């Protein structure tokens, strides 16, 4: 029988919420547990979840409606935009604008800051639909988001410094994975929690409480097509993974590759190449969010020289090499850098 003391309102925060709890209720409980919470971040997380449900609807219709394929334009980084990339960007911007908790957005799909309500405290960095090359072929894709508190005073225009904050300053981060089921995974710096979309209810429900990334694993994820463009240390590392009989898994959607490795134990690598000396992935809205989640679940994220979260960004669309996942596996991979670096 339940201890009646636990039912007392004062003790509400001590009750661990069971699997199946809705995201709304979970967010509310976390808000109640924090003495400084104003409810604004909670509302922002709900706005993101709502946008995720809308994108999910669009993604599942892809192929039926005229929303797959190229949009015929390029984003600021010169990459072909897919129609769904653009749809997702519009849906998120609209949801965050209507939600009224966001002062600015920086998005993979937009060159400049999108200014929203200057009276709000939160800045959102977002990749609305990551894994674009997989959209048309029914392979998992995702949304990645980071939330920061602005530095400049509320009420005034958002400044570059509000957006160009180190990953350590994130107040929350997460991703939505549109896979065999749709999941929202997020952290506010107190563990990582995963929610699965129950399609008939249209609700995200708690399915993975306190997610932990195993320290070790067997999976390495890297685009080996770039093998001859990698530095020698990466090629040697990949050769050694094969000699050890490790498992190669690479979906080409960062969210999906990261999620699998966090569940099963693995390492994700996107190193610099001859063509892309800073790698491909974007610090603000790809690397930082997953680095925060990785660390919160016991994993590691580094650019090979320093913690991803400690890199000071200098541009909105800045790129970074990324080594991410199970702690021992990331450590082991980057130990090759030291071994192969040329001592002058
Ligand atoms: P995108 O944001 O344009 O979709 O690009 C990012 C994606 C990541 O999801 C994925 O890990 C990586 O690019 C794959 O790149 P590549 O095809 O070079 O291996
Ligand atoms: Mg992306």
Q: Is 229 in the pocket of ligand 1 (CB under 6 A)?
A: no
- Split at pLDDT 50, 70, 90, the class of 3 is very low
| Count of structural domains, the chain | 2
Q: Is 132 in the pocket of ligand 1 (CB under 6 A)?
A: yes
284 plus 202 within the same structural domain: no
Chain centre to alpha carbon of residue 126: 8
Total-model pTM? 0.91
Q: What integer pLDDT is reported at residue 63 of this predicted model?
A: 64
CA distances from residue 333 to 129, 222, 230, 267 in whole angstroms, order as listed: 28, 12, 14, 8
Query: Hey, which residues does 143 pair with through a beta bridge?
Result: 176
Q: Is 320 in the pocket of ligand 1 (CB under 6 A)?
A: no
118 plus 253 within the same structural domain: no
Residue closest by Cα to atom 2 of ligand 1: 130
Q: Is 226 in the pocket of ligand 1 (CB under 6 A)?
A: no
Q: Which domain holds residue 181?
A: 20-208
3 falls within a domain: no
CA of 270 to the centre of ligand 2 (A): 13
Q: Is 260 in the pocket of ligand 1 (CB under 6 A)?
A: no
Q: Which residues surround ligand 2, an ion (CB under 5 A)?
A: 127, 130
Q: Which residue has the tokens 């969010």?
A: 289
Residue closest by Cα to atom 12 of ligand 1: 252
Whether the Cβ atoms of residue 187 and residue 174 lie closer than 8 Å to each other: yes
Whether the Cβ atoms of residue 135 and residue 113 lie closer than 8 Å to each other: no
174 plus 258 within the same structural domain: no
Task: Provide DSSP, 226-259.
Answer: GGGGS-HHHHHHHHHHHHTTPEE---S-HHHHHH
Residue closest by Cα to atom 19 of ligand 1: 223
62 plus 171 within the same structural domain: yes
Q: What integer pLDDT is reported at residue 71 of this predicted model?
A: 57
Rounded Cα–Cα distance for residues 57 and 80 (Å): 23
- Say which range, 80-94, 187-201, 321-335, has the weakest mean pLDDT: 80-94
């Amino acid at each position: 029988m339940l201890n009646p003391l636990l039912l007392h309102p004062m003790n509400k925060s001590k009750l661990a919420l069971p699997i199946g709890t809705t995201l709304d209720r979970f967010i509310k409980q976390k808000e109640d547990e924090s003495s400084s919470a104003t409810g604004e971040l909670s509302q922002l997380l709900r706005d993101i979840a709502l946008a995720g449900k809308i994108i999910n609807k669009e993604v599942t219709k892809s192929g039926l409606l005229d929303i797959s394929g190229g949009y015929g334009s390029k984003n600021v980084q010169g990459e072909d935009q897919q129609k769904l990339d653009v749809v997702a960007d519009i849906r998120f911007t609209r949801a965050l604008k209507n939600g009224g908790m966001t002062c600015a957005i920086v998005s993979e799909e937009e060159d400049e800051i999108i200014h929203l309500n200057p009276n709000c405290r939160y800045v959102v960095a977002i990749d609305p639909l990551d894994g674009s090359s997989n959209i048309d072929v029914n392979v998992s894709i995702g949304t990645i988001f980071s939330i920061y508190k602005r530095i400049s005073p509320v009420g005034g225009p958002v400044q570059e410094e509000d957006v160009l904050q180190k990953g350590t300053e994130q107040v929350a981060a997460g991703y939505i994975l549109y896979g065999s089921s749709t999941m929202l995974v997020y952290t506010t710096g107190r563990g990582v929690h995963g929610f699965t979309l129950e399609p008939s209810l249209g609700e995200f429900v708690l399915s993975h409480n306190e997610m932990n990334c195993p320290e070790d694993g067997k999976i390495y994820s890297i685009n080996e097509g770039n093998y001859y463009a990698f530095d020698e240390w990466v090629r040697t590392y990949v050769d050694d993974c094969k000699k050890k009989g490790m498992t190669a898994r690479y979906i080409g959607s960062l969210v999906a590759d990261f999620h699998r490795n966090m569940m099963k134990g693995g390492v994700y690598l996107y190193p610099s190449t001859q063509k892309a000396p800073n790698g491909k992935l974007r610090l603000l809205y790809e690397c930082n969010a997953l680095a925060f989640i990785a660390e919160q679940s016991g994993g590691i994220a580094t650019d090979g020289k320093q913690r991803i979260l400690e890199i000071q960004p200098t541009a909105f669309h800045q790129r970074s090499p990324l080594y991410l996942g199970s702690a021992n596996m990331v450590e082991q991979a980057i130990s090759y850098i030291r071994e192969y670096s040329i001592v002058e």
